Amino acid sequence: MSISHFISPFQITFFLLQIFISNAHKHLNNPPQTPKVSAVLVFGDSTSDPGNNNFILTPFKGNFPPYGRDYPDKRPTGRFTNGLLASDLIARYLGVKDNVPPYLDPSLTVHDLMTGVSFASAGSGFDPLTPTISNVIPLPRQLEYFREYKTRLAAKFGKTRTMEIVNNAFYIVSAGTNDFVVNYFTLPIRRQKYTLPAYMDFVLNKQMDFLQSLYNEGARKIGVVGLPPMGCLPIVITLFSDNALLDRGCIDFFSSVGRTYNSMLQTRLNLMQFNLASQQGGRIAYVDAYSTLFDVIVSRYKYGFKEVERGCCGTGLLETTVLCNPKSSTCPDASKYVFWDSIHPTETVYRIFFESTRSVVDSVVKD
């Protein structure tokens, strides 16, 4: 006997109406979550450049295979990895957008702009000399682009709405590695003028000047990424190890520079946060990249990695940018590698880094 013999059409309609009303009440009582911030805005180097270098005259690009091998549609976007960057994952976590696009992309819509872009340029740094080495976008120029960005938004939404977007955005600042690896340790110019401690002070002062300028432009929620264990980067091991082919262990001297600099940076950020509390408000926080990457390397099996000393692209010893190209061989499974090329992490590592920073991000963006 069918169920229709026991339930009339009227009863079915009444039952469905109750379900509809119940769901409506649930929706009203628990509305969909809105994004925690208005936008995600990013400054820095290749750790956060999604393709700005595609639009400038520089050899330091990653807009060709095998870069982007595991990106959606297997598309090389200019990101110096096989897939997504940590800044993309943070934007997704905050509910703003799936990927943070490059500001210089001429195809961006106003909506793309208002929800966040990256001004970062691979090869850049806080030392004014660093970006000139690869002819990339200096941090002060990135700040000029930010001012231009504000002007473009104001033309569409007005100054008041623009400042609401700017004040409520989450800012990521990730740079400094090139100042040491590409500039100070590789070239003689800065070493002739600065001792290592003096150079660290010089770079840190430039970084703090940038952060203060960013705050003056309206940034109120800022995450500042520290230096990684530089002595564990495959290219550093290759260039500075006494026997790079046989001994591929981390070189602690270079990593110790990162540790010392990060400690100095945290002290200065704490002081800046203290001063912000007595001014117009705002939050600025240190984001620890060193501990995560170092733990991944020394505890590789815990994370499922099989290779931590070489990149996935080519030999993994020196390849980056044009040396990692369509003719380069690549490992079959990048998720088993910590590094994609000789400098840059794989998407898997960026995901681990993102997970380790969620509490810091939450503390910065909280109401």
Catalytic residue IDs: 46, 341, 344
| DSSP code per residue over 330-366 | B-S-GGGEEESSSSSBPHHHHHHHHHHHHHHHHHHH-
| DSSP code per residue over 71-109 | SGGG---S-SSSS--HHHHHHHHTTS-SS--BTT-TT--
Best CA proximity match to 222, nearest among 281, 307, 299: 281
- Here the tokens at position 303 are 């994370």
Contact present, 82 and 91 (Cβ < 8 Å)? no
Residue 118 DSSP class: B
Best CA proximity match to 289, nearest among 140, 172, 121: 172
Phi, psi of 276, rounded to the nearest 5 degrees: -60, -40
Cis bond leading into 66, ω under 30°? yes
Phi, psi of 337, rounded to the nearest 5 degrees: -115, 140
